[in-house]
């Protein structure tokens, strides 16, 4: 739940900066080293990973995503841990928000037993596998029951409070998310036609978020914690001309018009809902792998 620090895999920061300037961010060996160095330094004995695949991910194709998943699992097991990885879709944003404070609000909703259905479905599945790997359940069904009980009982929210406090943060934010940074203004992005929201391009939404300040274009750029994008509609929803599809949460960075243009370009409206595959596309584990699409 943390990034690289001066005492946890300190070389990772320099390696990542080197990858950035040499155009090797998408190198599978370097991604694998960056991800696993921090996990292994923490002394874990089991690890369940989520490898994103699609327009909004580093790994655009299922073949590349599977190659990364296999590398992560193989090296994890070689280091003596029980490792597995799921490959999950990232053509459209997962959940309803993009951006730092917005996503933390969504995480709080999730541990409170609320949150968007697609995000909750995926998190319950991944967490159940972790409960099983940790020997806390005898079957995946039993593990899922444990996870849902933690969400409904408040135990998951208690754990989030404890994690925030352990890192010197303000644990009360779990109960008072209004204390998180908030945007100065909100700009709607509206549907330019009527029909079904057939697609919402995660890459364009992500690029729009960066222009708003939610991410970095260069490694030394500041991040605006309040900036981001909220999804008002999800793929598959019916929309009419003028309906708000996205909200741009605006901070202090210029470039709002270009962000709005990219956000509008991310929206595809059609006459019917296109076929969509499973959110989880594949599962890579010690005994092999399974494909679900």
Give the global pTM.
0.91
**Secondary structure of the chain in HEC code, one letter for each residue:** CCCCCCCCCCHHHHHHHHHHHHCCCCCHHHHHHHHHHHHHHCCCCEEEEEEEECCCCCCCCHHHHHHHHHHHHHHHHHCCCEEEEEEEECCCCCCCEECHHHHHHHHHHHHCCCCCHHHHHHHHHHHHHHHHHCCCCCCHHHHHHHHHHHHHHCHHHHHHHHHHHHCCCCHHHHCCHHHCCCCCEEEEEECCCCEEEEEECHHHHHHHHHHHCCCCCCCCCCCCCCCEEEECCCCCCEECCCCEEEEEEECCCCCHHHHHHHHHHCEEEECCCCCCCCCEEEEEECCEEEECC
Domains and CATH numbers, the chain: 1-90 (1.20.970.50), 94-180 (3.40.1030.10), 181-270 (3.90.1170.30)
pLDDT in tens, the chain (293 residues): 677 788 888 888 777 777 767 767 778 988 898 889 989 988 899 999 999 999 999 899 999 999 999 999 999 999 999 999 999 999 999 999 999 999 999 999 999 999 999 999 999 999 999 999 999 999 999 999 999 999 999 999 999 999 999 999 999 999 999 999 999 999 999 999 999 999 999 999 999 999 999 998 776 788 999 999 999 999 999 999 999 999 999 987 777 999 999 999 999 999 988 888 899 999 999 889 999 97
């Amino acid at each position: 739940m943390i990034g690289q620090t001066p005492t946890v895999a300190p070389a990772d920061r320099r390696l990542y900066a080197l990858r950035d300037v040499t155009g090797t961010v998408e190198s599978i060996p370097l991604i694998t080293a960056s991800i696993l160095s921090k996990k292994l330094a923490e002394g874990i004995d089991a690890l369940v990973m989520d490898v994103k695949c699609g327009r909004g991910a580093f790994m655009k194709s299922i073949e590349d995503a599977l190659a990364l998943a296999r590398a992560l699992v193989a090296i994890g097991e070689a280091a003596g841990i029980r490792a597995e990885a799921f490959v999950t879709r990232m053509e459209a944003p997962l959940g309803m928000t993009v951006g730092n404070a917005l996503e933390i609000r969504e995480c709080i909703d999730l541990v409170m037993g609320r949150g968007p259905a697609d995000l909750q479905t995926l998190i319950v599945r991944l967490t159940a596998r972790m409960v099983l790997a940790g020997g806390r359940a005898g079957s995946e069904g039993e593990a899922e029951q444990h996870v849902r009980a933690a969400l409904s009982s408040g135990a998951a929210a208690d754990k989030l409070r404890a994690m925030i406090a352990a890192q010197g943060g303000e644990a009360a934010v779990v109960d008072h998310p209004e204390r998180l940074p908030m945007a100065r203004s909100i700009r709607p992005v509206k549907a330019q036609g009527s029909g079904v929201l057939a697609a919402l391009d995660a890459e364009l939404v992500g690029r729009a978020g960066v222009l708003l300040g939610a991410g970095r274009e260069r490694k030394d750029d500041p991040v605006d914690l309040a900036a981001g994008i909220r999804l008002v509609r999800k793929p598959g929803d019916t929309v009419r001309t003028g309906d708000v599809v996205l909200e741009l949460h605006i901070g202090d960075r210029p470039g709002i018009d270009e962000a709005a243009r990219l956000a509008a370009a991310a929206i595809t409206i059609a006459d019917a809902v296109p076929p969509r595959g499973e959110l989880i596309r594949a599962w890579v584990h010690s005994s092999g792998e399974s494909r679900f699409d």
